[in-house]
Structure 1
């Protein structure tokens, strides 16, 4: 150090070492015998029911709401819950992933009975139908695809996560041409549906399955979204704001 200025890597390390009360800089780097999660943590293997209970408890602690249904009753109960939510929150337009699981549940038909328009994430022809209100926007907005314009006017987005992490109540979403990230980012309300066998206990289990068998960047999704409860931010003067970067209300359905 010269005139209060640190020069060189060795001088910088020596200064840090002295601040830590060490007489000299260690010659060898400290041992780092562990990588990733510790072994005792990896050995925790909850049952499916335990994962369901843990996810639900943590999701509700974040102000989310959970519905657990048996597969035989899934279509009727999920459709009814979705209509109730839409009525309570004044939802008139819904965006959803183009996912076979969601299609099989018949949610479009359930919403149609309440007069709610649905925009599946698939290309649509330009132009506004009567079901989609016009929105004010400049030249940049006018150049966007009709699908994105419709999604921006939806209050609720329906997704089917790839995985759900029980101990953090996190939804793991990989986007694709049929599963746009805008559905979970632009809407005010998120409605997620997934099977109980998609639950994992810890985040590392989800990452392990996502990366398995992949060797090239092109084999990965262009984005991976991790959603843990409603969007929240306290960046400005530690003033907590809900829903500023994404949905402010979140719902999860677990099909067992």
Structure 2
């Protein structure tokens, strides 16, 4: 329910006056210009291949497997992963890139083999989507951006991709377009902010996911995959 704000201007003016900043509210906010731009300059001049190598190296530290592939071979590589890790039900996000890279035909083939394939449904109820995500062995999604510095995939929540899809299935498969790899967090956040300024509707939530969950709460023994997927695999698609 949308509420109504009463006496906002007078309330804010009172706070400004108490802070010694006068009673008039500023008409605009000026962004500061920083003398040093370390946040931008770190890894700024790395080539795309160097960013890929940085990503692969970091993923070794966060227990995440990286497999490089081509647009044509990406669907068959996922099928090979299912052979390696064991067959099971699959749930995907509703993303046009599954059709773009030929996943649709492969997923239909899985259904003919008797494997359950579902998609996070825009028309399904929340409880239905949660139930399907909980039952799925594989979650398959596309990242919006990927941070080479930390091995973090950046994904948004929307009607075709609920946040539970990232946490409930046992296996987490993220398809990463090489063109979307950026050096670090500020590059991804700035791109998302810029898209909103250009009129794109802001997403309900933005998730920064760095491999499977880790916990060392019990006697400092590291356990991977405690609070989410047991394994995470990045399929790095060379789309350039």
Alignment of 1:179-218 (within 5 A): 179-212=161-194, 214=196
SS of the aligned residue for 2:174 comes to strand
Q: How many residues align?
A: 201
Post-superposition CA distance 1:169-224 (Å, at most 9, x none): 11011111111111111111111112111000111111111122547xx9432222
2:155 maps to 173
Structure 1 Cα separation of the partners of residues 186 and 224 of structure 2:
27
Structure 2 CA distance for partners of 1:37 and 1:171, relative to 1, 3 Å: farther
Structure 1 Cα separation of the partners of residues 107 and 195 of structure 2:
39
Structure 2 Cα separation of the partners of residues 194 and 152 of structure 1:
23
- The answer (yes or no) to whether the contact 1:175–1:181 under 8 Å persists in 2 is yes
Structure 2 CA distance for partners of 1:221 and 1:125, relative to 1, 3 Å: closer
2:205 maps to 223
SS of the aligned residue for 1:206 comes to helix
1:60 maps to 60
Structure 2 CA distance for partners of 1:43 and 1:85, relative to 1, 3 Å: closer
In the TM superposition, what is the alpha-carbon distance from 1:157 to its structure 2 partner?
Answer: 0.4
Structure 2 CA distance for partners of 1:117 and 1:37, relative to 1, 3 Å: farther
1:47 maps to 47
Alignment of 1:118-157 (within 5 A): 118-123=117-122, 145-157=127-139
In structure 1, stretches of 5+ residues that fail to align are 1-32, 127-143
SS of the aligned residue for 1:190 comes to strand
In the TM superposition, what is the alpha-carbon distance from 1:155 to its structure 2 partner?
Answer: 0.7
Structure 2 CA distance for partners of 1:46 and 1:121, relative to 1, 3 Å: same
1:93 maps to 89
SS of the aligned residue for 1:113 comes to helix
Structure 2 Cα separation of the partners of residues 118 and 212 of structure 1:
35
In the TM superposition, what is the alpha-carbon distance from 1:108 to its structure 2 partner?
Answer: 4.0
TM-score, normalisation: structure 1: 0.70
Instruction: Give yes or no for the alignment of 1:109 onto 2:91.
Output: no
In the TM superposition, what is the alpha-carbon distance from 1:231 to its structure 2 partner?
Answer: 1.3
Structure 2 Cα separation of the partners of residues 148 and 104 of structure 1:
26
SS of the aligned residue for 1:250 comes to strand
- The answer (yes or no) to whether the contact 2:144–2:155 under 8 Å persists in 1 is yes
TM-score, normalisation: structure 2: 0.74
Structure 2 Cα separation of the partners of residues 119 and 237 of structure 1:
40
Structure 2 Cα separation of the partners of residues 151 and 189 of structure 1:
11
Structure 1 Cα separation of the partners of residues 76 and 94 of structure 2:
20
